[in-house]
C-alpha cells in the first residue's frame, strides 16, 4: 500500500519536482551548447526512479500489456503534453507464442542461483520434458579452454566417464565430437541429465547453440554458456534443478507507441529520436531501456520551448522486447512521402550499463563486423558521436547494426540511422577495462533481462555523459538544416546526404 501511494505521488508531482523541465524549460535552449548545458544526469535519473517505482508497484515489470507499461506510457506522454509537444499514442496488437510453463534451470546449492534463460542457458530442441534434479559432475573439462576451437575432448569417449556417479548430471564441454556422441556416452554412464556448455574461445562463449542430438532424447539436455559451465565446474557436487515442458500457449497483447513532435521546424526534414519503453516480463527494465527513455525524455523537455529549424519527433516504442514490433508497426504504416520526410533516426537503447563501454553504431562498417554499413548518411551520424566523445577526452568503440534494436525497421527502408549502446550480455575485455574502467570478464550489464535491472543497476557517469551526447546530436540536427541538406540546401524537402562536417558545441 505504501509503495502504491509513493508511486501515485511520484507520478503526480513529477512535472513539478523535476526542476528545469517541462513548463520550466528555457526558450533560449536554442543551440547545441545551451541544450547540452541544460540536460543533466540528475534529472534523467529522476525519470528512471519513477519508472522503477512504477515497476515495483506492478509486479516488478513494465512489459507490454500490463499496468506497468500503461503507467510508463502515461508518465512519458503526460510530461510531453505538459511541455507543449504534439503528442499521440499509436495502438497496435500482436500475438506471441510462449511456453505455458516457464523453463527453469537453477543451482539449488551451494550459492542458489536461477540461471537466465537465453543468456546463461537454452533447452536443447531434443530435450526430455519434466522436472529433474541431481548433482553436477564435470566430465574431462578443459578450463581455461585451449587456444583453438575444438581443443576439448570432453565426453567424446566412454573412458571420460571413469568414476562418474550414476544419477548425476553430466557437465560436458563443447569440443571435438558431436553433441549426440557426448549425450549417448553420458546416458551409457548412467547420467540423469546433461549440461552441455560452450567451449570458451572467442565466439564460443554464449548460450546461443541448439545442440543437434539427432532426435528426441529421454534425458533432459540443455546448453549453457561457457561462463555458466565454468562456474558449475568450480563447485563439484552442486545440486541443480531443471524444469521443462514443450506445451505452449499463444497470448494476445495490446500496446502503444508514444510519439511527440515539436510544433516548429521543417516537416520535410524530420529528425526522429527513439528508444523502447517496454521491459521484459522478468524485470523492471531500468537500464534496458529506462536509461534511453529517461535521457530522450529529458532532452525533449529541455528543448520544449525552443524553435528548431527542423521538426523533431520523439518516439517511445512498445513491443521491442517481442521483436521491434512497435517500430516495425510505425514504419510499415508510413506513406511514401512520410518516409521521405524523415531525414534520419537516432536510437538509444541501454545507455547506462553498470560495466559500460561507449559503443557507437558502426554506420560506415569501418569495423568490418557483421552487417554492412547503414544507409547513406549513417556514417556521418557515427562520426558526430565519435567527435563528441573525443571532445570529452573519452574513447568510443563501434558496434554492429545487428538488428537487435529499433533502428532496424528504419534502416530497412533506407533511412539513415545511428545511436549509442553501453552493452548488454557480452563480457568486458581487459582491453576495454584499460579504456573505460570496470571489471574484465563480467557482463556489461549483469542484470540484463533480469529482475535486478532496477534503479541500482545504473552507472551514473555513463548516464550523464550519454545524455549530453544525445543532446549534442539532437541539437545538431534540430537547429541546423545544413547538417542534413548541406550549406546551400534548396529546401526541396527530400532526404539528402547528411553533411560530413563536425557539429559545433559552441553555437
The residues annotated with a catalytic role in the active site are 320
Single out the residue of 469, 26, 52 nearest to residue 286, CA to CA. Answer: 52
> Taking a C-beta distance cutoff of 8 angstroms, is the pair 205, 224 a contact?
no
CA–CA gap between residue 259 and residue 340 (Å, rounded): 18
- Between CA 170 and CA 182 the distance in angstroms is 10
Which residues are CB-contacts of 272 (< 8 A; sequence separation ≥ 6)? 312, 313, 314, 315, 342, 344, 345, 346, 410, 415
Burial of 487: CB neighbours in 10 Å, binned 0-12, 13-18, 19+ = exposed
The strand pairing partners of 398, in sequence order, are 360
- The full 3-state SS of 169-236, as one line of letters, equals EEEEECCCCCHHHHHHHHHHCCCCEEEEECCCCCCCCCCCCCCCCCCCCCCCEEEECHHHHHHHHCCC
Q: What are the residues facing 177 on neighbouring strands? A: none
Contact 107, 198 (CB under 8 A): no
User: Which residues lie closer than 8 Å to 378 by C-beta, 6 or more apart?
Assistant: 361, 363, 364, 411, 416, 417, 418
Cα pseudo-dihedral 246, 250, 251, 252, rounded to 10:
160
State the distance between the two ends of the chain, measured CA to CA, in whole angstroms. Answer: 50
Strand partners, 87: 260
Amino acid at each position: 500500500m505504501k509503495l502504491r501511494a509513493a508511486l501515485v505521488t511520484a507520478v503526480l508531482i513529477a512535472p513539478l519536482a523535476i526542476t528545469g523541465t517541462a513548463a520550466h524549460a528555457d526558450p533560449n535552449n536554442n543551440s547545441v551548447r545551451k541544450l547540452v548545458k541544460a540536460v543533466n544526469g540528475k534529472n534523467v535519473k529522476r525519470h528512471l526512479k519513477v519508472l522503477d517505482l512504477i515497476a515495483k508497484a506492478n509486479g516488478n515489470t513494465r512489459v507490454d500489456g500490463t499496468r506497468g507499461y500503461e503507467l510508463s506510457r502515461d508518465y512519458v506522454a503526460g510530461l510531453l503534453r505538459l511541455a507543449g509537444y504534439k503528442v499521440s499514442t499509436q495502438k497496435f496488437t500482436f500475438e506471441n507464442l510462449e511456453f505455458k510453463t516457464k523453463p527453469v534451470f537453477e543451482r539449488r546449492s551451494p550459492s542458489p542461483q536461477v540461471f537466465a534463460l537465453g543468456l546463461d542457458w537454452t533447452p536443447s530442441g531434443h530435450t526430455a520434458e519434466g522436472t529433474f534434479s541431481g548433482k553436477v559432475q564435470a566430465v574431462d573439462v578443459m578450463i581455461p579452454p585451449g587456444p583453438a576451437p575444438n581443443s576439448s575432448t570432453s565426453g567424446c569417449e566412454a573412458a571420460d566417464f571413469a568414476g562418474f556417479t550414476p544419477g548425476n548430471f553430466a557437465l560436458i564441454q563443447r569440443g571435438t565430437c558431436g553433441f549426440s556422441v557426448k549425450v549417448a556416452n553420458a546416458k551409457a554412464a548412467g547420467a540423469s541429465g546433461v549440461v552441455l556448455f560452450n567451449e570458451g574461445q572467442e565466439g564460443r562463449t554464449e548460450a546461443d547453440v541448439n545442440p543437434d542430438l539427432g532426435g528426441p532424447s529421454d534425458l533432459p539436455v540443455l546448453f549453457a554458456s561457457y561462463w555458466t559451465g565454468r562456474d558449475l565446474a568450480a563447485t563439484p557436487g552442486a545440486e541443480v534443478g531443471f524444469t521443462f515442458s514443450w506445451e505452449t500457449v499463444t497470448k494476445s497483447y495490446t500496446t502503444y507507441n508514444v510519439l511527440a513532435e515539436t510544433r516548429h521546424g521543417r516537416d520535410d526534414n524530420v529528425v526522429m529520436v527513439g528508444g523502447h519503453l517496454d521491459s521484459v516480463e522478468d524485470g523492471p527494465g531500468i537500464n534496458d531501456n529506462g536509461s534511453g527513455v529517461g535521457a530522450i525524455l529529458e532532452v525533449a523537455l529541455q528543448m520544449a520551448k525552443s524553435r528548431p529549424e527542423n521538426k523533431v519527433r520523439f518516439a517511445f516504442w512498445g513491443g521491442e522486447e517481442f521483436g521491434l514490433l512497435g517500430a516495425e508497426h510505425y514504419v510499415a504504416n508510413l506513406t511514401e512521402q512520410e518516409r521521405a520526410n524523415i531525414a534520419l533516426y537516432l536510437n538509444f537503447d541501454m545507455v547506462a550499463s553498470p560495466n559500460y563501454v561507449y559503443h557507437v553504431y558502426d554506420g560506415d562498417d569501418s569495423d568490418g563486423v557483421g552487417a554492412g554499413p547503414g544507409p547513406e548518411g549513417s556514417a556521418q551520424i557515427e562520426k558526430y558521436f565519435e567527435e563528441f566523445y573525443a571532445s570529452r577526452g573519452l574513447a568510443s568503440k563501434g558496434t554492429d547494426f545487428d538488428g537487435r534494436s529499433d533502428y532496424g525497421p528504419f534502416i530497412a527502408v533506407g533511412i539513415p540511422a545511428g545511436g549509442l549502446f553501453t552493452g548488454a550480455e557480452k563480457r568486458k575485455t581487459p582491453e576495454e577495462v584499460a579504456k573505460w574502467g570496470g571489471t574484465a570478464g563480467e557482463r556489461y550489464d549483469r542484470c540484463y533481462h533480469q529482475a535486478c535491472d532496477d534503479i541500482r543497476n545504473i552507472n551514473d557517469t555513463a548516464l550523464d555523459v550519454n545524455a549530453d551526447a544525445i543532446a549534442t546530436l539532437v541539437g545538431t540536427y534540430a537547429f541546423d538544416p545544413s547538417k542534413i541538406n548541406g550549406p546551400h540546401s534548396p529546401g526541396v524537402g527530400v532526404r539528402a546526404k547528411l553533411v560530413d562536417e563536425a557539429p559545433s558545441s559552441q553555437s
